[in-house]
Structure 1
């Protein structure tokens, strides 16, 4: 039984009026859109609004619950085996694709969100974006569709543990293993970047380590096409991402977020993997996000917390997590060059080049209002002596221009006089 059938049952039994039902649905949609609370079921909302008593809700659950669950998970061509977990947007099941007899993962949009066109569109967009990708380090899409009002998305089934699972046991990754995993994710990001996609939620929970030792990047629920200006404008001002790993520009709700945000988030994940703690710890999500943008808070280099790490790894992580995105790696390809260098026991070439440049430049974020200082483009990073020398050159040039202008003016006057005399 779908939620629509449940609504019809409630009305048919005279438990509420159609107007009361619509008011409860509208209230639930507002709560879901705000993102401030976890999605709630219709009956829960109606009990909170005192439209139904707890006893009435319990009887409805008992009477229609089994039928609802049975039909909810009926998807033609797939045999639902068991439930794997529940996220903010959907429930994930392990299933068998009967046509080829293989195990897959089926994600089903929550009923509470399926009544909202925006959430349906977002769910369908995730499937569409996933279909554009085909890479050994990305959880691949298989199928998607809608049946009896049920939105579903089928993916390859990946058996293993996430980086988050490992970290929660207290594990701290050694440098070679961490480099191997981060390199695999960077390869996946490069594949997505070449197809105009950004993930926007790189974090330990979305990196799966398979039983065979492979690495898979999962969950494209927040992914976006870089060129999708309509979506970018619609999300302006919204901090999209996970607080411990979110980039500064995502915190600000910038509309021009690009692949460098994913590089920052991967850097924060890398940091957590090799130190055992996120780069900016804290219990309050808002305070944690503020630390990502607050220039007065300095990131402790990972090789200072874990002295077994090489200084080269520290330089790579700091470059990935530069607050000014212009100072990060420009794309995953550049990051991959340095990661491979570290794996080979060499120094990170690109990170060190950027470090040399940053030694002469005061870090400023291009997204801030103080993007350009009083020195202007020509004065950034110059010593006092260089500024004086530059000023002298400019003044001398201006004097020459002034003299030429005077001579040109005199020549013009002389020509006019000669012309009149004739």
Structure 2
């Protein structure tokens, strides 16, 4: 079993999901638009629909349901205070109906009765729970927009343990942006704050069509925020999940665009360190954007490298062997490995290595032989399969050394030509005839003659011929 070490997981693993990616249930906030985040439950699940008759509940039943599902008024500070004004202005409730509910709320004498105005509005069927949820979301967005000067929050795109992402409008330039906000619970944690600002500074160094652009980073009150380009689309994870497998041509196009983004970052001394399907956005026009530089690190940042030595930073399903080992000198080849693992997932519909826990998965990255992608998807060309296998070579010196080398091979494969760097693995043991390998009846013949069987001479001749053929083929391929 892989020895225990400090592991910084960008994406929690769960056991409830089979391949391709058990991380589906992760509450990790995807950069930008892993934003097909679950919406609030529809009215049919969250509560009765508007036209359905609502049976009266006993007080004990109301208390029970209140404990199971807190009322909207209790979930957002300040919402119930202004709820009366909001429902009247929106035309959902008349002034008389509101006054009736307010009087009933004031008449509560039992201190254990925790009903609020929203509960009384629901009991009288003046509003539906779906309407209250919509009003509350609008209230939250308006409240949030007051926290970050210069931006108006439009809606929440996604949320998780590490951050919440909002769609907003930048008022000065009248453009849509995405704003990542650090949760208040981390606002006093220097480590989280430093990492948050580091992501913004890393992204600001890059200006490329295939990288999500950084616009601003700052603090408003207790809230630290990072403003970035808004990408309307889906993640590669979402697309792969929907299509099961991507066609080779589509996968090559995606990988080439990400490789160009990495080439730009690597030339400026930055390593992403967390390439995975959920960090790659794709628009309706198939334009690809690399997102989430939360783990990015400068190649020459010796201080950070030594501080992180011995720790595995990344996502288990796509992490490189050198990251698993916590090596200090992480280079571009680590990103190429992550992109190779991502490509493998795209074209086979499964992650390269799976396991019950992160340690098991990472141990397989280190020790287990990779099943060739064209064995799982026979429609792949041999050249493309060889490229993926070279990207995922366990020894970094056997991988593509730069993104430009990878791009050269991908361009050749796209033209149905032989890749320049990636080569098929030649197993001579399968091509040769083993010396002295007995055939039926051979032993008896040898005993009768007292000498070597003619088959031995034939075997030697065949082996020599095959060796010459292999050498010639290798010379031809290298010269091409």
Q: Which residue of 1 aligns with 2:251?
A: 178
**C-alpha deviation, 1:167, in angstroms:** 2.1
Contact persistence 1:141–1:156 (CA under 8 A): yes
Q: Which residue of 2 aligns with 1:217?
A: 290
For the structure 1 residues 83 and 230, does the alpha-carbon distance in structure 2 shift closer, same or farther, using more than 3 Å as the test? same
Larger deviation, residues 86-95 vs 263-272: 86-95
Alignment of 1:13-162 (within 5 A): 64=77, 66=79, 72-73=144-145, 74-162=147-235
Equivalent position to 1:300, from 355, 358, 371: 371
List per-residue Cα deviations over 1:216-272 (Å, max 9, x = no partner).
111111111111111111111111111110001111111111110000000000111
Q: Which residue of 1 aligns with 2:37?
A: none
Equivalent position to 2:387, from 316, 320, 335: 316
| Structure (1 or 2) with the greater helix fraction | 1
Q: Which residue of 2 aligns with 1:263?
A: 336
Q: Which residue of 1 aligns with 2:52?
A: none
Q: Which residue of 1 aligns with 2:408?
A: 337
1:238 and 2:311 aligned:
yes
For residues 298 and 197 of structure 1, the distance between their equivalents in structure 2, rounded to whole angstroms, comes to: 30
For normalisation by structure 2, the TM-score amounts to 0.60
Q: Which residue of 1 aligns with 2:87?
A: none
Contact persistence 1:72–1:150 (CA under 8 A): no
For the structure 1 residues 344 and 284, does the alpha-carbon distance in structure 2 shift closer, same or farther, using more than 3 Å as the test? same
Q: Which residue of 1 aligns with 2:93?
A: none
For the structure 1 residues 99 and 359, does the alpha-carbon distance in structure 2 shift closer, same or farther, using more than 3 Å as the test? farther
Contact persistence 2:280–2:288 (CA under 8 A): yes
**For structure 1, which runs of at least 5 residues remain unmatched after alignment?**
1-31, 40-54, 361-422
- Runs of 4+ in structure 1 displaced over 3 angstroms? 32-39, 58-73
Alignment of 1:5-16 (within 5 A): none
Q: Which residue of 2 aligns with 1:385?
A: none
State the Cα RMSD in Å: 2.9
For the structure 1 residues 116 and 61, does the alpha-carbon distance in structure 2 shift closer, same or farther, using more than 3 Å as the test? farther
Q: Which residue of 2 aligns with 1:27?
A: none
List per-residue Cα deviations over 1:160-200 (Å, max 9, x = no partner).
01111122225201111100100000000000001000110
Task: Tell me the SS of whatever aligns to 2:312.
Answer: coil
Alignment of 1:390-405 (within 5 A): none
For the structure 1 residues 34 and 141, does the alpha-carbon distance in structure 2 shift closer, same or farther, using more than 3 Å as the test? closer
For residues 359 and 149 of structure 1, the distance between their equivalents in structure 2, rounded to whole angstroms, comes to: 65
For the structure 1 residues 62 and 188, does the alpha-carbon distance in structure 2 shift closer, same or farther, using more than 3 Å as the test? closer
Q: Which residue of 2 aligns with 1:327?
A: 398
Contact persistence 2:27–2:160 (CA under 8 A): no
For residues 103 and 256 of structure 1, the distance between their equivalents in structure 2, rounded to whole angstroms, comes to: 39
Q: Which residue of 2 aligns with 1:167?
A: 240
Contact persistence 1:144–1:152 (CA under 8 A): yes
Contact persistence 2:10–2:313 (CA under 8 A): no
For normalisation by structure 1, the TM-score amounts to 0.68
Task: Tell me the SS of whatever aligns to 2:314.
Answer: coil
Contact persistence 2:184–2:222 (CA under 8 A): no
Task: Tell me the SS of whatever aligns to 1:315.
Answer: helix
Contact persistence 1:161–1:209 (CA under 8 A): yes
Contact persistence 2:254–2:288 (CA under 8 A): yes
Task: Tell me the SS of whatever aligns to 2:341.
Answer: helix
**C-alpha deviation, 1:88, in angstroms:** 3.8
Task: Tell me the SS of whatever aligns to 2:177.
Answer: strand
Contact persistence 1:279–1:299 (CA under 8 A): yes
Contact persistence 1:179–1:343 (CA under 8 A): yes
**C-alpha deviation, 1:61, in angstroms:** 6.4
Equivalent position to 2:263, from 155, 170, 190: 190
**C-alpha deviation, 1:334, in angstroms:** 0.6
**C-alpha deviation, 1:316, in angstroms:** 0.5
List per-residue Cα deviations over 1:23-48 (Å, max 9, x = no partner).
xxxxxxxxx99999989xxxxxxxxx
For residues 74 and 306 of structure 2, the distance between their equivalents in structure 1, rounded to whole angstroms, comes to: 41
**C-alpha deviation, 1:359, in angstroms:** 8.7
Task: Tell me the SS of whatever aligns to 1:300.
Answer: coil
For residues 191 and 11 of structure 2, the distance between their equivalents in structure 1, rounded to whole angstroms, comes to: 13
List per-residue Cα deviations over 1:377-422 (Å, max 9, x = no partner).
xxxxxxxxxxxxxxxxxxxxxxxxxxxxxxxxxxxxxxxxxxxxxx
For residues 246 and 425 of structure 2, the distance between their equivalents in structure 1, rounded to whole angstroms, comes to: 25
**For structure 2, which runs of at least 5 residues remain unmatched after alignment?**
1-7, 13-25, 29-66, 82-138, 430-480
